[in-house]
Amino acid sequence: MTKRLKLRVIGRSEVLPRAVLELAAKELPFDLEFELVDSVKGLQRVVTSPNTFDVYHQWHTVDLIWTARAIQAIDLKRIHNGELIKTQAMARRSDSGAMGSVFNQLFVQPSGAIGAAPTGEIVMLPLLHGVDAFGFLPPVLKEWPAGTPHSWGWLLDRRLQGRVAIMSDPVLGMIEAALAVEASENMRFADVGNLTIEEIDTVADILLHKKKLGHFKTIWGNYQEAARSMQRGAVLQSMFSPAIAMLRSQGVPVISAVPQEGYRGWHVDLCISSAAQGEQLEAAYQYLNWWMSGKAGAVTTRQGYYFVLPELVRPHLSEAEWDYWYAGKPAQTALTNPAGKPSITPGEMREGGSYLERMSRVRVWNAFMDEHTYLVRRWREFLEA
Amino acid sequence: MAKAKASVSKPYYQIVRETLGANVENGNLPTGTRLLVSAVADRLGVSRPPVKRALELLADDGIIMPLSSQGYVVGAAESPMNPARTNLHGLQLELPVELGSGLGQASWERIFAAVEAEIMNCIPFGTFQISEAGIGDYFGVSRTVVRDVLSRMDSRGLLAKDRSLHWIAGPFSARMLDDAHEVRRLLEPGALAATLPHLDNPALAQARARVAAVLGGSVALTQDAVDTLEADLHVDALRLVRNKRLAQAVQLSQISLVINRLFDTYIGLYEENDMLREHALVFDHLLLGDCDGAAVALRYHLDADHARARARLKVLSVFDAADIAPYLTRIH
């Protein structure tokens, strides 16, 4: 008997909820081995050992893994609806704020570099994207006059001392902290997604000071920890939308902020290992095309993620789901999270509005900054303080 | 493991210990020769601490014996004891290159390059604390020498002291790369153009042929090949710069070479055609005797290489340094 083909997939736990893993296992004609890695260890593995995986759900590091030759170019002709990606890229070139980061580093240019000009090859298959902000519990609003717009500055506000949590990830954590510093200290950084050494110092010094004052209750690592943090007394904190879906299904009335300064945008895309070839490569393309069917994207929609080609997930969503998650309308019926548990009650409306309203309010995209090593040095200082 | 080359691979006291041991074994240091720390240090051209340590270890091994008065004597305990006050400068000793090359150099110079290379190899990965005592032990040199080395590195901007006055190195930032590049693109093309009249055409032609061989595939793209090609253009072609200040400033600005080398070590060598074609272009101008063209081509190469080094530094920032010198401690 020949050995059954096995596709090895690496991704974060947020992107690959159990319902997606089960669906993939059921629908794909080969075995799947999912490795859920929430820390920088996943990236280290991908960069150093492309032979240990076939497919990687990357986020904000595609330039880096392309430089490291850990991934190979994806032939758009082999992707179902691949032309749509190209069309989408063309349509959105003028709309760089809302979709910029997804399409700016997508196509393989004739020089071998990555760029925005559409070609027949892409370095990653764009799948999921969305916006993040902090989340909070209703009593927080009592600290401000009624109608005060939500602000990233709240993360550092003295009124919430000892009741705030932020995430431990240095890349995202620093971006959120920088947004908070801008708002609370009334300053402006040239590019929040690519801070200079001096700007990193400014943010880190404020964070350290706040930590020593006892401002932060917890620092969390993944969405499950984020949900626990709020159950244990944090009233305002950095948030991933799966944690919001989880908390709501547990009856915690968490509110997802709509900060006046804008959101932190993110996207998660599929990359194929540079080492994949033969039947592994075939299976990798099958996995990518399975995602392009929109079925998995429908599952992750229920935790608040958007699919880059929304029309592909629409057939797999109920009308009520589409209207709530994408159209920004009040829920016509009770809606469930990916685990099938109730998470949205009838009449609820998504904070921030429709898909386009929310996406067009991105202030900064997740990004691996040029001064990453320096950033990590100061961030660890903060974590260890 | 391949990385920026360190000129000293083992501690000085070990080199001294092995040198003395070998010379005892082959009879250059006859049984009964009296060995005083100061005399041995003077003969070998090294400082006293490594000699003191080496002599202690040789005594532990039973190769030499402590004298009740002062110093040691060659020979085991059972050998007949008649310590001879020999002038060590009169003995023909076999000395390794590590010691031979040290003759006439100030103590700090011998270890500077090694310490610098170790630090440069680590800081792309994070921040490190440097132990003065650790360097002293490792190289067998005094604190005075260590402080001399570190303060010279400090003046080159490689180190800083933190609030508790510990020496800190790193992290290697994109800013460091940018700053070095800015200086380098101003200086190196001019330095190269200035050397052209003194350059030897056959040597240039050979260097150009080495680029062609790798580009054409007749010579494999290996780490050694890349090292040679980089040295051809960025070290050897500049060797004849008359202005030593300029030569030193150029060398100090070439830190992106370290990043490229570490990237090749940790990630691997792949296609380097852009770099090869840029090198070829510079050599073609040099071979024609075209100073201005060579300078322009070199500036283009430095800019392109800077972009590559910046992208590579980002990849390295994901890693932990695999091997670090014992006198360095990672702090972040």
Give the CATH number, domain containing residue A243.
Answer: 3.40.190.10
Tell me, yes or no, whether A63 and A185 share the same domain. no
Burial of A107 (C-beta count, 10 Å sphere; 0-12/13-18/19+): buried
Average pLDDT, chain B: 87
Q: Does B330 lie at the interface with A, CB-CB under 8 angstroms? A: no
Tell me, yes or no, whether B184 and B307 share the same domain. yes
Tell me, yes or no, whether A125 and A94 share the same domain. yes
Averaged pLDDT for residues B258-284:
91
Residue A326 lies in a domain: no
Residue A376 lies in a domain: yes
Residue B279, pLDDT score: 97
Task: List chain B residues with CB under 8 Å of A381.
Answer: 332
Q: Does B266 lie at the interface with A, CB-CB under 8 angstroms? A: yes
Q: Which residue, among A249, A238, A223, has the nearest Cα to A335 in the 3D structure? A: A249
Q: Which of B100, B118, B137 is the last residue of a domain?
A: B100
Residue B156 lies in a domain: yes
Q: Most confidently modeled of A286-290, B22-26, B164-168? A: A286-290
Tell me, yes or no, whether B188 and B285 share the same domain. yes
Task: List chain B residues with CB under 8 Å of A40.
Answer: 318
Q: Is the pLDDT of residue B209 over 70?
A: yes
% of chain B beyond a pLDDT of 70: 91
Residue B77, pLDDT score: 65
Find the helix or strand (DSSP H, E) in which B276 lies.
helix B273-288
Contact predicate A163/A210, CB 8 Å? no
Tell me, yes or no, whether B35 and B76 share the same domain. yes
Residue B2 lies in a domain: no
Tell me, yes or no, whether B23 and B91 share the same domain. yes
Residue A323 lies in a domain: no
Tell me, yes or no, whether A143 and A255 share the same domain. yes
Q: What pTM, to 2 d.p., does this model score? A: 0.81
Residue B34 lies in a domain: yes
Tell me, yes or no, whether B59 and B123 share the same domain. no
Tell me, yes or no, whether B212 and B299 share the same domain. yes
Residue A98, pLDDT score: 61
Total structural domains in chain B?
3
Tell me, yes or no, whether B235 and B197 share the same domain. yes
Residue A51, pLDDT score: 95
Tell me, yes or no, whether A64 and A157 share the same domain. no
Task: List chain B residues with CB under 8 Å of A63.
Answer: 311, 314
pLDDT digits (tens, 9 = 90+) for B109-160: 778 888 988 998 888 888 899 999 999 988 888 899 899 999 988 888 888 8
- Whether the bond into A145 is cis, omega within 30 of 0: no
- Residue B89 CA to residue B149 CA, distance in Å, equals 29
Residue B1 lies in a domain: no
- Residue B227 CA to residue B77 CA, distance in Å, equals 51
Tell me, yes or no, whether A62 and A196 share the same domain. no
Task: List chain B residues with CB under 8 Å of A373.
Answer: 124-126, 170-173, 313, 316-317
State residue A108 phi and psi, 5-degree precision.
Answer: -75, 120
Q: Which residue, among B9, B43, B281, has the nearest Cα to B118 in the 3D structure? A: B9
Chain B neighbours among A 17-46 (CB < 8 Å)? 40, 43-44
Inspect the interface and report whether the beta carbons of A47 and B125 lie closer than 8 Å. no
Residues of chain A with pLDDT under 70: 1-2, 92-100
Tell me, yes or no, whether A108 and A137 share the same domain. no
Tell me, yes or no, whether B92 and B143 share the same domain. no
- Residue A305 CA to residue A322 CA, distance in Å, equals 12
ipTM of this predicted structure: 0.87
Residue A273 lies in a domain: yes
Q: Which of B267, B312, B317 minimises the CB distance to A373?
A: B317
Residue A342 lies in a domain: no
A-chain residue closest to B309, CA distance: A67
B-chain residue closest to A64, CA distance: B315
Residue B266, pLDDT score: 86
Q: Does B160 lie at the interface with A, CB-CB under 8 angstroms? A: no
Residue B78, pLDDT score: 61
Q: Which of A67, A68, A381 minimises the CB distance to B332?
A: A381
Which tokens hold the place of B14?
A: 């070990």
Side-chain half-sphere CA neighbours of B149 within 13 A: 27
Q: Does B265 lie at the interface with A, CB-CB under 8 angstroms? A: no
b or e along B27-54 (b: 16 or more beta carbons within 10 Å of the residue's beta carbon)? Answer: eebebebbbbbebbbebbbbbebbbbbb
Inspect the interface and report whether the beta carbons of A374 and B171 lie closer than 8 Å. yes
- Three-state secondary-structure class, residue B172: coil
Total structural domains in chain A?
2
Q: Which of B171, B174, B268 minimises the CB distance to A370?
A: B174
Tell me, yes or no, whether B212 and B298 share the same domain. yes
DSSP per position, B59-90: HHTTSEEE-SSSSEEES-TTS----B---GGG
Residue B6, pLDDT score: 43
Q: Does A277 lie at the interface with B, CB-CB under 8 angstroms? A: no
- Residue B108 CA to residue B142 CA, distance in Å, equals 10
Residue B111: domain span: 107-171
Residue B243 lies in a domain: yes
Tell me, yes or no, whether A244 and A375 share the same domain. yes
Task: List chain A residues with CB under 8 Å of B171.
Answer: 373-374, 376-377
Q: Does B166 lie at the interface with A, CB-CB under 8 angstroms? A: no
- Residue A294 CA to residue A314 CA, distance in Å, equals 8
Tell me, yes or no, whether A232 and A368 share the same domain. yes
Q: Give the full edge-to-edge strand order of the sheet including A114-115.
A: A74-75, A121-122, A107-108, A114-115
- Residue A366 CA to residue A173 CA, distance in Å, equals 10
Quote the minimal CA–CA distance from A64 to chain B in Å.
6
Chain A neighbours among B 275-314 (CB < 8 Å)? 310-314
DSSP per position, A56-80: EEEES-HHHHHHTT-EE-EEGGGST
Q: Which residue, among B249, B242, B56, B69, has the nearest Cα to B156 in the 3D structure? A: B249
Tell me, yes or no, whether A251 and A309 share the same domain. no
Tokens 């392309």 correspond to A66
pLDDT digits (tens, 9 = 90+) for A111-141: 889 998 999 999 999 999 999 999 999 999 9
- Three-state secondary-structure class, residue B330: strand
Residue A75, pLDDT score: 97
Residue B3, pLDDT score: 44
Residue B1, pLDDT score: 34
Residue B141 lies in a domain: yes
Q: Which of B152, B171, B190 is the last residue of a domain?
A: B171
Residue B149 belongs to domain with CATH number? 1.10.10.10
Angle at A56 between CA A221 and CA B312, to 5 degrees: 85
Which tokens hold the place of B203?
A: 């040597």
Tell me, yes or no, whether A379 and A238 share the same domain. yes
Higher per-residue pLDDT: B105 or B114: B114
Residue A233: domain span: 131-262+361-384
Residue A349 lies in a domain: no
